[in-house]
Each structure stands twice: as C-alpha cells, then as structure tokens.
Amino acid sequence: MYVNYALYSKKFDKIYIGYTSDLIDRFHSHNTLSSKGFTSKFRPWEVVYVEFVETKKEAMKREQQLKTSAGRRFVREQVELLVLISVS
C-alpha cells in the first residue's frame, strides 16, 4: 500500500507533493530529519491531502498528475477548504 500526499507550509504558503509507503516516517523526515532539500527550507509542514493506492506504479503516476497545473490547483483547493474549516 502506498500513499500520495500533499504537505502545506502555512508560514511560507508552499505546497509539496510526494508519495511513500510510510507516511508517518516520511512526514517526520520532512519536518525534522532532513537537513537539505526543498522541504527543509519551508518548515513546519502539515499534511493537507492523502490518497491511498495499491502499487508503487500507481503512486508514481498519481504523483505526476498531482504535480501538473490542474493537480496543483486541486491541492490548493484542498488547502483553502481546510483553512475555511479551521476558521469556522
């Protein structure tokens, strides 16, 4: 089982999209372990979207879809929905 995920940095208004077989470990890596790379520059991150798939191949394909302009628009809408929910 794999999970596609989107992270959001409220502080920097940045989105990161990826996939993994262990979301908890990967999230921990993005927020504390890694010392270089994109995600280390824009901490803290929060998970704003998850989607489960069966195979790595499916996860890789979906990640590429989410990284298109339409996919990023979809993720941005998810972020905006969460903001609206948290304000209510």
What is the tens place of the pLDDT at every residue in 29-86?
999 998 899 999 999 999 999 999 999 999 999 999 999 999 999 999 999 998 778 7
For residue 2, the SS3 value is strand
- Band of residue 88 on the pLDDT scale cut at 50, 70, 90: low
What angle is formed at CA 22 by the lines to CA 19 and CA 27, rounded to 5 degrees?
A: 75
| Domain residue ranges in the chain | 2-87
For residue 1, the SS3 value is coil
At the topology level, CATH places domain 2-87 in GIY-YIG endonuclease (3.40.1440)
pLDDT surpassing 70 at residue 12: yes
* Cα 76 to chain centroid, rounded: 11
For residue 72, the SS3 value is helix
Q: What is the 3-state secondary structure (H, E, C) of 4-65?
A: EEEEEECCCCEEEEEEECCHHHHHHHHHHHCCCCHHHHCCCCEEEEEEEECCHHHHHHHHHH
pLDDT surpassing 70 at residue 25: yes
